[in-house]
Amino acid sequence: MSWILLVEQTLNGLQFGVMLFLMAAGLTLIFGVMGLINLVHGSLYMIGAFAAAAVAAATGSFLLALIASLAAAAAAGVVVETTVIRRLYDRDHLDQVLATFALILIFSEGTRWVFGSFPLFLDPPDYLSGSVSLPFGIEYSRYRLSLIVVGLAVAAGLFWMIAKTRIGIRIRAGENDREMIGALGIDISSLYTLVFALGAALAGLAGALIGAIQSVQVGMGEPVLILAFVVIVIGGIGSIKGALIGAILVGLTDTLGGFLLPKLFALFLSPSAATSVGSSLASMSIYILMAGVLLVRPKGLFGGV
Amino acid sequence: MSLKPLLAAICTAALATGAQAEGLKVGMITTLSGGGAGLGIDVRDGFVLAVEQSGRDDIEVVVEDDQRKPDIAVQLADKLIQSEKVDVLTGIIWSNLAMAVVPGAVAQGKFYLSPNAGPSPLAGRGCHQNYFNVAWQNDNLHEAAGAHANSTGYEKTFILAPNYPAGKDALAGFKRFYEGDVAGEIYTKLGQTDYASEIAQIRASDADSVFFFLPGGMGISFLKQYADSGVDLPVVGPAFSFDQGILQAVGDAALGVHNTSQWSKDIDNPTNAAFVESFQAKYGRLPSLYASQGFDTANLLMSAMDSADVTDQDAFREALKAANFSSTRGDFEFGPNHHPIQDIYVREVIKEGDVYTNRIISVGLEDRGDAYAAECQM
């Protein structure tokens, strides 16, 4: 095992992490501000990917496809928030889970109805395909490197927005005391719609960016949704900083675990047994990480008081 | 929550044409919603096409959606057997679902014709006189890939498959015929969509080729990322990652890849040519190997109905075993464990106009049965 391979795997883990962050940021904001468990987030990811694939097929432009993914997911988010989710804020979490689960089924079958059951085609643009040479002889995929850059840029923008802008102040106020900011004359319901649309747009962008190197198909959002929940539990619910740190931790643990654990077991087991034991343990590694974090910090790494 | 049962009911109503008091009732349990729906839809469409073309009115098909969940498949099988009183069951795509349903169904005296899944236990010790597999034993296509790797001269192949029973069967099947060294062996997570880590390990190894079994969306992700990674080792795999439903989503990344299949749209016989043409005319897309398997399953069933009545189980079984039907694969016969003995072809992904498809370049294994037939005692 060379150190170049290790660096490459670390980059892979980082790339996976920042994409998870795009999902987890919206999820944690929505939970933090509105107290809503939002299972439909995975469907918004899927909508972003399908919108991007449809627009890319029609126009051939990847940039337009990304814009379409943002717009379509945000629009779907607004529709869902104003028609269904708005009625759920005062209900308990079980009702929210049931209603948003129903939305998953509606979106999945609706997408199948429109686009059919076969996966769609979405490819990275030519100017981002192929690999790029980094210092020290490391070859890395240009597209994945772009994903890292885009993900970190979005994270920086989000931090700036939360810390410095008026909307950010309102979001933070909403997290701390919903009734009070309502009493101070802030239109709480449009703030909720805005936060929901923002989270949805980020999920849609993640779906489009990831869809270009994976398959765009019905049901693509749910596995990512589960990981995003792990991320916000590790990071602390409601914390954007926690979501970023948690996402990168999960990304690195998953990638490096899957790579290193089989090699570790190969030191004292036969090759095929090591592969099978190591692979199985690697699948569990992020959940072990989550359990470990919760043991030490029951509210997650940045989970307030 | 009630959407899926409703859709299933609509499908059922649409398909249950010309119900007859006598005749034969088929229960089809297949995957019509969720991630693997493309496969089930192809099997169903192929099956229904064959029944329609026959013009028979003594066969009734009840279609149900298992959502790729074993517990739902078992419930559906109970319902089809007990309240619908079907004579024959078919349709299951996934091996884990087949293992949950088939042993119980055949033990209750029903026939089961598998249009896809062929798990090794049902070919070996767990074989049953009422279980017929019309597709393949799970290992077959991987065995042919191993044989093809030998004939191409690959000596160090990097192999990977998902960490579940069919994935382990796949790597075992590949190694059964492969004579070179294994440069590396990885089990990925089932449903994994990011293969950056595996591709990095392939790049770092001294492999001269890659064999992978990653069905459905997993294969799309792997191929796109592999093509983008700059690793240019030749790839070989079973047809599951190169079927007609998937290729359009993979695009150029799959061009030229060799893959192994028991069926291809250019197998030269009149039945196959008519099948491809009529399937395309009716559904507006090219058939996949799954569609051909559904089509063959229905034709096998109807050929048995011509010479025996399903109430006479022994006669009906003999009629099935004779496989006296015209297969899209040309030569087709059953081995002693009721699994096919057939040629497995090596295909190459090509582009015809705007459409990505496959063409045969050689025969990987001739008249291949399977490795488990000797363990089967009916």
Q: Where are the domains of chain A?
A: 3-296
Query: Which pair of tokens denotes residue A244?
Result: 């970023």
Mutation to test the B interface, candidates A23, A39, A115, A214, most B Cβ within 10 Å: A214
CB of A271 within 8 Å of a chain B CB? The answer is yes
The C-alpha of A184 sits at a distance from chain B's nearest C-alpha, in angstroms, of: 41
For range A178-182, the mean pLDDT: 80
Q: In whole angstroms, what is the distance from residue B354 CA to residue A222 CA?
A: 32
Per-residue pLDDT band for B289 (boundaries 50, 70, 90) equals very high
Query: Alpha helices, DSSP H only, in chain A?
Result: 3-34, 41-59, 62-83, 93-115, 142-164, 166-176, 178-183, 188-211, 221-235, 240-266, 271-296
Structure confidence at residue B38 (pLDDT): 84
Mutate to test the interface with A, among B194, B286, B354 (most CBs of A within 10 A): B194
Residue B18's pLDDT band (cuts 50, 70, 90): very low
What's the pLDDT at B16? 43
More confident residue, B155 or B17: B155
Rounded Cα distance between A12 and B104, Å, is: 45
Check residues B236 and B192 and name the one with the higher pLDDT: B236
pLDDT category of residue A202 using cuts at 50, 70 and 90:
very high
CB atoms near residue A114 (< 10 Å): 9
pLDDT tops 90 at residue B341:
yes
Average pLDDT of B47-55? 94
pLDDT given at position B362: 92
Q: Is the pLDDT of residue A239 over 90?
A: no
pLDDT of residue B35: 64
> Is residue B76 pLDDT above 60, yes or no?
yes
Q: How far is CA B102 from the centre of its chain?
A: 16
Q: Any chain B CB within 8 A of the CB of A264?
A: no
Please report the pLDDT score of residue A15 as a whole number.
Answer: 92
Q: How far apart (Å, rounded) are the C-alpha atoms in residues A80 and B222? A: 33
Beta-carbon separation of A121 and B246 below 8 A: no
User: Which domains, from first to last, does chain B contain?
Assistant: 3-136+268-338 (3.40.50.2300), 140-261+344-375 (3.40.50.2300)
User: Is the per-residue pLDDT at B14 higher than 60?
Assistant: no
Q: What is the pLDDT of residue B2?
A: 47
* Percent of chain A scoring above 90 in pLDDT: 36
Please tell me the total number of residues recorded for chain A in this structure: 305
Give me the mean pLDDT over the B281-297 stretch.
Answer: 94
What is the pLDDT at residue A106? 92
B349 bridge partner residues:
B358
3-class secondary structure, B134: coil
> What separation, in Å, do the N-terminal and C-terminal C-alpha atoms of chain A show?
43
Lowest mean pLDDT among A51-55, B251-255, B330-334: B251-255
User: Within an 8 Å CB–CB cutoff, is residue A223 touching chain B?
Assistant: yes
Q: What are phi and psi of B177, to 5 degrees?
A: -110, -20
Confidence of residue B4 (pLDDT cuts 50, 70, 90): low
Q: Which of residues 85-144 of A touch B (CB under 8 A)?
A: 101-102, 105-106, 108-109, 112, 117-121, 123-124, 129-131, 139, 141, 143-144
Contacts of A226 in chain B (CB under 8 A): none
Closest by CA position to A236, among listed A162, A178, A294? A294
CA distance B137 to B139: 6
Per-residue confidence at B51, pLDDT binned at 50, 70, 90? very high
Q: How many CB atoms lie within 10 A of CB B84?
A: 16
Task: Give me the mean pLDDT over the A52-59 stretch.
Answer: 90
Which pLDDT score, from 0 to 100, does residue A132 have? 81
Helices (H) and strands (E) in chain B, counts: 13, 13
Query: Is pLDDT at A48 greater than 80 in this prediction?
Result: yes
Residues in chain B, how many?
378
Taking the domain A3-296, which CATH number applies? 1.10.3470
Residue A81: is its pLDDT beyond 80?
yes
Kindly state the average pLDDT of the residues A273-280.
Answer: 79
